[in-house]
Chains A and B, each alone.
Chain A
Amino acid sequence: MDFVISDEQQQLRDSLQKYITKEYGFEARKAIIASKQGFSDKVWAQFAEMGILGVAFDEAHGGFGGTSVDTMLVMNELGRGIVVEPYFSTVVLGGSLIDLAGSEAQKQAVLSEVAQGKLLLAAALGEPNSRYELNCVETTAKRDGAGYVLDGHKAVVLHGESADKLVVSARTAGGARDAKGISLFLVDKKSAGVAVQGYRTIDGMRAAEIKFAKVKVGADAVLGEVDAALPVLERASDFAVTALCAEAVGAMEALNAATFEYLKTRQQFGRPIGSFQALQHRAVDMMIHCEQSRSLALLASIKVQSEDPNERKRTVSAAKIHIGRSGRVIGEEAIQLHGGMGVSNELAAGHYAKRLAMINATLGDVEHHAERFASAA
């Protein structure tokens, strides 16, 4: 067993942590969220320079040839800073879909641009009726000469409005919930017939409803094998879920630290509220929740690469279940222990709680993963 990260990984983490601590404080983040596009080009360019936008991609595709652990280290830091830039949608989910499904040419074209910070991706997978089920795809892609025509409605597409290209799941065969018959397409967001309704999300990010009306794409838009995208979707989603778990652990760490500090400094009845045993035990439970979550997030960051899909699914779902629950507990307790301050939008605590709650609602909540865990036995 070796839980130690390499010197390079340590360096990557330190430099990112330093940058976020220095440049991404509460006020800076607030201004970014209030800006028109909802994230900062400057921060994004800095991320590109630090190499984190291509950390997990092959060197041949303009990346740094890192492992899944590198992605998790990055996400952990982004979680600590509740960073709202489209890292998850572009690099993690969008990037891994291209990486897993794309042809060599597609990877070279797209991933190197992503790594340089020149291209933003969004994954348009969910639909109004799909909830968390990747196989539920009602959007259709019908053959049209050499290419396809897309019709349908994709729901809550994270950072869909700012994305340049969309990775879209669409049905090329079968019924709405069939496992077979799903294909992936890489669609330029500017294509005729793509209508985007962007909006804020409660955790300070952006998302969009995207409607496709007779959107024509060429044969070169297909990512991977036609009709057989579900296994790839599941793998990419598992990787993304693992990244969300790492992010959540970072958010839990930061939120716990802020709460424990508050317990030490806030005075009532002539002493710090942290001197009340009723609150001490609550704090200890918050800490245990975080440590248990960290353990599963670490395990998932290794097992997500497993060749055995059942082992991969079980571990990733276990981590997401735990993180969903612990994120809820820690978020709620942190607000409660801050008293009135906890419900003020001017304090970071509540913003961490919001992000943790929305992580639970992204790519499968506790119940979704509980069922998946059981069925992957």
Chain B
Amino acid sequence: MDLNYTKEEQAFREEVRSFVSENLPKDISDKVLHHKRLVKDDWVRWQKILYKKGWVAPNWPKEYGGCAWSPIQQHIFDEECGYLGAPRVMPFGLVMVAPVIQNFGSKWQKEYYLPRILSSEDWWAQGYSEPGSGSDLASVKTKAQFVKSAQGDHYIVDGQKTWTTLGQYANMIFCLVRTDTTVKKQEGISFLLIDMTSPGVTVRPIITLDEEHEVNEVFFDNVKVPAENMVGEAGKGWTYAKFLLGHERTGIARVGESKRELEQLKAIATKQLRNGKPLMEDPRFRDRVTDVEVELMALEITLLRVLSSRTKPGPEASILKIKGTDIQQALTELTMEAVGPYALPFRPEARAGDWKGEPVGPAYAGSAAAVYFNYRKTSIYGGSNEIQRNIISQMVLGL
């Protein structure tokens, strides 16, 4: 047993670190580090930089232009990027839909979509959840009706998706749609790629507790989708969706980002005074920071154990989602408490990258409460933590 990274892995980490340090635009990392608002261009610019370097698709096989890195390398990359304040690479195209297309898509889909995903020409959204279907995803109702036509076979899509992250930026959305209502609910679902610029698609913002526009409702009214946009076989959408789940598990621990936030928290708590002394020296507060740090140490090794295991990450990976989000949330909570009464001022305008107004209180305090409330989402999205617990209890513990 050796819990150290190999020489090669350490060298790889150095390589990633120096590349990211040198090439991550400062205006972007400033926004990430100071919890300012990111806009489309920030993500696209960074992804294009990674694309040029050949690093935008760590998880893809070489034949499609990916890095084919080992899980440990991918983790090192994620950790360094997160730690240094890179925006998270948008997962919807690169991490979610791409592996589905690679494994189940047609030749045309691979040739057309994969290069556009790599180059960030398309921005994808995930169209799974609906108003009536969140945790119970297999109950989706958005209907896609097959129409045979001389001008080209197509589907007519009607229904609504919701909570669509950054759908306002997207021109493509992959959807779970119902193509058959006569069979078992899982078997009537198909995986459809929809051009969001098609007539009949409407995107409406949902404003979250921090008054940001991060999620949307997406309406489909009589939307015509070419039949060639169906991935794989009709009725197999559920299988593909489950395949995809296995692909999103390892990035969710967010170890690098949490390490960064932990450091920031300590820096804040060192500046904040309590009874005239740094808050960080207050035993009550310090012990709470220690609790989170200990959990994070454990999570890192748990993650590496999952990544190093010979078998593909299974339901145990739900541990990473639960613990990873617990830690992220605890850090936002402690940061909010660290700033004391300066948690109250709420100035969304100050979160714009180019804002030049007069600050209120220390700069680091400005977004603390907003981020705390924003991060409540982490235990809800991507399969809520209750659903993750159900997965573990059923599939791991056999209860």
Q: Which of B362-389 contact A (CB under 8 A)?
A: 369-370, 372-374, 376-377, 379-381, 384-386, 389
Please determine whether A340 and B370 come into contact, CB atoms closer than 8 angstroms: no
Please determine whether A344 and B207 come into contact, CB atoms closer than 8 angstroms: yes
Q: B389: which A residues are within 8 A, CB to CB?
A: 278
Interface residues of A, CB < 8 Å — how many? 49
Is B361 positioned at the interface, with any CB of A under 8 Å from its CB? yes
Q: Which of B41-89 contact A (CB under 8 A)?
A: none
Q: Which of A201-234 contact B (CB under 8 A)?
A: 201-203, 207, 209
**Using a Cβ cutoff of 8 Å, how many contacts connect chains A and B?**
138
- With CB as the reference atom, state the residue of chain A lying closest to B284: A367
Q: A131-B273, A155-B342 are in contact. Are A268 and B136 (CB under 8 A)?
A: yes
Q: How far is the CB of B315 from chain A (nearest CB, A)?
A: 17
Is A197 positioned at the interface, with any CB of B under 8 Å from its CB? yes
**How does the 8 Å CB contact mask read for A121-154 relative to B, with 1 for contact and 0 for none?**
0000010110111001000000000000000000
CA distance A110 to B384 in the complex (A): 53
Please determine whether A199 and B347 come into contact, CB atoms closer than 8 angstroms: yes
Q: B25: which A residues are within 8 A, CB to CB?
A: none
Q: B273: which A residues are within 8 A, CB to CB?
A: 129, 131
Q: A279-B386, A346-B207, A350-B209 are in contact. Are A340 and B284 (CB under 8 A)?
A: no
CA distance A336 to B341 in the complex (A): 25
Q: A299: which B residues are within 8 A, CB to CB?
A: none
**How does the 8 Å CB contact mask read for B334-372 relative to A, with 1 for contact and 0 for none?**
001100111111110000000000101100000001101
Q: Which of A261-310 contact B (CB under 8 A)?
A: 267-270, 273, 276, 278-279
Q: B202: which A residues are within 8 A, CB to CB?
A: none
Is A28 positioned at the interface, with any CB of B under 8 Å from its CB? no
Please determine whether A340 and B345 come into contact, CB atoms closer than 8 angstroms: no
Q: B276: which A residues are within 8 A, CB to CB?
A: 136, 177
Q: B376: which A residues are within 8 A, CB to CB?
A: 332, 335-336, 342-343
Please determine whether A339 and B134 come into contact, CB atoms closer than 8 angstroms: yes
- With CB as the reference atom, state the residue of chain A lying closest to B138: A269
Q: A207-B344, A361-B344 are in contact. Are A343 and B380 (CB under 8 A)?
A: yes
Is B9 positioned at the interface, with any CB of A under 8 Å from its CB? no
Please determine whether B209 and A131 come into contact, CB atoms closer than 8 angstroms: no
Q: Main SS of the interface on chain A?
A: mixed
Q: Main SS of the interface on chain B?
A: mixed
Q: A269-B136, A278-B386, A343-B376 are in contact. Are A156 and B208 (CB under 8 A)?
A: no
Please determine whether A128 and B380 come into contact, CB atoms closer than 8 angstroms: no
Please determine whether A343 and B345 come into contact, CB atoms closer than 8 angstroms: no
Q: B336: which A residues are within 8 A, CB to CB?
A: 357, 361
Is B91 positioned at the interface, with any CB of A under 8 Å from its CB? no
Please determine whether B206 and A202 come into contact, CB atoms closer than 8 angstroms: no
Q: A268-B135, A339-B135, A345-B208 are in contact. Are A362 and B341 (CB under 8 A)?
A: yes
- With CB as the reference atom, state the residue of chain B lying closest to A129: B273
Q: B282: which A residues are within 8 A, CB to CB?
A: 367
Please determine whether A344 and B135 come into contact, CB atoms closer than 8 angstroms: no
Q: Which of B196-250 contact A (CB under 8 A)?
A: 206-209, 211, 215
Q: A197-B358, A209-B360, A367-B284 are in contact. Are A340 and B380 (CB under 8 A)?
A: yes
Q: B369: which A residues are within 8 A, CB to CB?
A: 202, 354, 357-358
Please determine whether B346 and A202 come into contact, CB atoms closer than 8 angstroms: yes
Q: A344-B207, A357-B336 are in contact. Are A126 and B377 (CB under 8 A)?
A: no
Binding site for B on A (CB under 8 A): 126, 128-129, 131-133, 136, 155-156, 177, 197, 199-203, 207, 209, 267-270, 273, 276, 278-279, 328, 332, 335-336, 339-340, 342-346, 350, 353-354, 357-358, 360-362, 365, 367, 370-371
Subset of 11 A-B contacts with CB under 8 Å: A132-B341, A197-B360, A200-B345, A200-B347, A209-B361, A268-B136, A273-B135, A340-B215, A343-B376, A345-B208, A346-B207
